[in-house]
Structure 1
Amino acid sequence: MDRILRGIMKYRVTDRKTMVEQFERVRDQPEPKAVFFTCMDSRMIPTRFTETNVGDMFVVRNAGNVIPHSQHFVNEMTTTEPAALELGCIVNNIKHIIVCGHSDCKVSLETVD
């Protein structure tokens, strides 16, 4: 945990200003080009291996990069995946949906009896 806290403090001193500038540039007119679904595996860093910047895409991370079919969850009022698709495709007119899987996933999907 100390390493994470030190990283946050270092970010605030070294990178925060640049990130805030990027956020300000896209604040009023973001133009994301894709909705990117990927696993929550801590080794997956979508913005690094896609070389994308702030505002380039929406990223949704969940266990196993699962996008459940809406017919299987008719009683659920809100879930992240359909909301991301609506925000991306309907509100922002995004035409590209990327579902990124990978081998040797370390996220375990176990059923509890």
Structure 2
Amino acid sequence: RMGVLPVTGGDLNAILVLQNEDILSRRLQTIVFQKGLATTIKQARQLINHGHIFVDGHKVTVPGYIVLREEEGSVSYNPASPFTDEMHPMRAGPGAAPAAAPAPVEEAEETAEPAEEAN
């Protein structure tokens, strides 16, 4: 039910091999990060504390909330949160282009070559 044991082929002996990471991976903070709703684990904690995350249609502000297997698919942004906008600056991933991109290096090299030829 919590999602720490395998769904199929569950054996009572599986309980004996559980690790701390199995329980910690069910925390809301970890799931928000793994689903890509936050870029870092610290940002996930902040989003949860500030009420930007919904679980099963309800606002949850406890980063240590244990998310059940049935609830995992319903973890999302709060509909009233500004993070629902794809263009929100905090949602931009590491591959996103900055607002004012610097000139490409190739163009800078081309403008530098005529100056070298004049010398």
Smaller-chain TM-score bracket: under 0.3
Which has the greater radius of gyration?
2
Specify which structure has the bigger relative contact order, considering alpha-carbon pairs within 8 angstroms and separated by 6 or more residues.
Answer: 1
More strand by share: 1
> So what's the TM-score if we normalise by structure 2?
0.22
> So what's the TM-score if we normalise by structure 1?
0.23
